[in-house]
Amino acid sequence: MKSKRFGLVGRNINYSFSAGYFKDKFEKTGLNKYTYTNFDIEDISQLPEIIEKTKRLKGLNVTIPYKEEVIPLLDKLSPTAQIIGAVNTIIFTKKGTKGYNTDHYGFRKALEPLLMPHHKKALILGTGGASKAVAYALRRLKIEYDFVSRTATDVVYAYEDLDKDIFNDYQIIINTTPLGTFPNMKECPPIDYSLFTREHLAFDLVYNPEETEFMKRAAQNGAATSNGYQMLVHQAERAWKLWNRK
């Protein structure tokens, strides 16, 4: 068996799900010569040097804050990654690097089992790379959505805009920001959590801690909750398939 290397590109990623997940996968499936490395970099401009110096590199995952910044460094994008405008998976081909987005697939697979008939509209908290994949998945599910950010625009709500009328109109609230991630576990998006009801689903892309402050506060008011763990598993398996395509 030939040795192969994979890895994760991001900033401050010691807590990363991917490294542990793939190391465990390699051990369980007897892929003893496969390794997975965290490439923790201060600037995305360091990526080409990593690619050049890392021998037998077959695939990379990309995480915050580089899912959008990485695009200009790639030779090609999949049609879906191009539409979404964010990349979380890179494969290496004879023709160079190609970027994919498996986040949308992971999110859709994680969300679908939780959906109830009354879940018709969603609010996406945050406007970064992960939010774009979530929006794409919601379109595939035919769920209407709007974005929420710190600053309002003609097409984006500000956090302070969210009142009872708006909350009642959107039954799925999705946190795509890193707020609440370990070690800053007391942080959460600045919304009025008393507006959550039993009709709401609060989905947090954060997975560490298992129950985020966002989830905890939403649950206290009756909402169903989920963290991002299953999304990560589904997106990782899709990335694995891409890396191993013949």
Q: Which residues are catalytic?
A: 67
Rg value, the chain, Cα: 18
Cis peptide before 183 (omega within 30 of 0): yes
- Supply the DSSP string of 58-111, one letter for each residue: EEEEE-TT-TTTTGGG-SEE-HHHHHHT---EEEEETTEEEEE--HHHHHHHHH
Number of Cβ within a 10 Å radius of residue 113: 8
Q: Please tell me the distance from the alpha carbon of residue 115 to that of residue 197, in angstroms, as a whole number.
A: 15
Q: Please tell me the distance from the alpha carbon of residue 40 to that of residue 14, in angstroms, as a whole number.
A: 8
Q: Please tell me the distance from the alpha carbon of residue 228 to that of residue 125, in angstroms, as a whole number.
A: 14
Q: Please tell me the distance from the alpha carbon of residue 160 to that of residue 166, in angstroms, as a whole number.
A: 11
Residue 10 CB burial class (10 angstroms; 0-12, 13-18, ≥19): buried
Q: Please tell me the distance from the alpha carbon of residue 201 to that of residue 242, in angstroms, as a whole number.
A: 31
